[in-house]
C-alpha cells in the first residue's frame, strides 16, 4: 500500500465517529439523541462478534 492510500484510508476512518459526535458538539443536550438512535446499532452486534472470537 502506498503512503497516500494509507493516509486516505486513515482519514476516511476518522469521518464516521466525527459525524456521530457532531450533534453533541453543537448542543450537549443532543447526547441523548446519539445514545437513543445511534448506539443501539453497535451494541448487540459487538457482543456477538466478541463472543465468536
The Cα–Cα gap between 6 and 8 comes to 5
For residue 39, what is the DSSP state?
A: G
30-to-26, 49, 52 alpha-carbon distances in Å: 8, 29, 34
Question: The whole model's pTM is what?
Answer: 0.51
What does the pLDDT look like over 2-35, one tens digit per residue?
999 999 999 999 998 888 888 888 888 888 887 7
Amino acid at each position: 500500500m502506498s503512503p497516500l492510500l494509507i493516509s486516505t484510508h486513515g482519514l476516511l476512518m476518522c469521518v464516521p465517529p466525527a459525524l456521530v459526535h457532531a450533534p453533541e458538539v453543537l448542543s450537549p443536550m443532543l447526547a441523548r439523541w446519539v445514545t437513543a438512535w445511534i448506539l443501539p446499532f453497535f451494541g448487540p452486534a459487538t457482543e456477538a462478534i466478541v463472543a465468536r472470537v
